[in-house]
Amino acid sequence: MTFKRNLASLGLVAGSLLAIASPGQAASLTSDVFGSGGISFDQDTTLAFDFLESRGKYRSNFGVYVEEGGDRSLVETLFSEVGAGYDPGSTDASNDWLGTCGVTVLDCAANFTFRAGQTYFFGLTGANGTVFSDGLSTVFRYASDGSYTYNTQGPNWIQNNPGVTPDRKTVAVGSQEVLVAINDSYEADVDVNDFIVKASPVERVPEPSALAGLAIAASAWAFSRRRAFS
């Protein structure tokens, strides 16, 4: 009977610690989160960002900003283009100045933690300044749980070939992903494909103290079990 009571007690302790140690649910991520008023979460939320490609002639940096006193300041740059801002051999007609991972952007993955209650903005800085994510749909667009299609030939080629459909590309977007497509500070071409990234939530990992407690509970259960059968 004593053994059964000990086993039940240890089971409750271990179960509680397992609940503490289990990763938290990832935040629900839809394009609605990235509203025209900025980006905000009810709890601290870490997103994993992946650079997909860029399609613009001007070198750009993509980052996260906050606003204080009417001024916006950079919190962290997530992705930076190097060199000319596009891959060698890229042109307007062939691929709309394509920039790829490992060539134009060297570090193509980044994490950022959005603090609860704080409003953030994405920003893309180029030759003519910075465009922000609370701008018009001609500047920033979001896609979630579906796909996003965009031109892969440049605005000059399109202008010189009226009535001809340019080459296009479609990127699939998962149910817990958001695709962010941006038109850089040269807005006259209205091609929202100059910088394209994906974001997805990162599940919270167990606290070290919870893992240590779980190990202690397991050891105590094993010790009690040995004593019961000795």
- Taking only the tens place, the pLDDT of each residue in 50-89 is 999 999 998 999 999 999 988 999 999 999 999 999 999 9
Task: Give the pLDDT of residue 164.
Answer: 95
Do the Cβ atoms of 122 and 65 come closer than 8 Å?
Answer: yes
Burial (CB count <10 Å: 0-12, 13-18, 19+), residue 229: exposed
Q: How many CB atoms lie within 10 A of CB 130?
A: 17
| CATH class of the region 31-201 | mainly beta
Q: Which two tokens stand for residue 85?
A: 């801002």
Query: pLDDT higher for 153 or 225?
Result: 153
| pLDDT tops 90 at residue 141 | no
Task: Give the pLDDT of residue 29.
Answer: 62
Task: Give the pLDDT of residue 25.
Answer: 47
Distance CA 171, CA 148 (A): 5
Distance CA 140, CA 209 (A): 42
Do the Cβ atoms of 139 and 116 come closer than 8 Å?
Answer: no
**Helix or strand holding residue 157 (H, E):** helix 155-160
- b/e code 194-206 from CB counts within 10 Å (16+ = b): bbbbbbbbeebee
Cα 165 off chain centre by: 31
In the chain, the amino acid numbered 203 is: E
Distance CA 153, CA 160 (A): 11
Task: Give the pLDDT of residue 120.
Answer: 95
CA dihedral 101, 106, 109, 113 (to 10 degrees): -140
In the DSSP assignment, the letter for residue 193 is T
Closest alpha carbon to 10 in 182, 203, 224, 185? 224
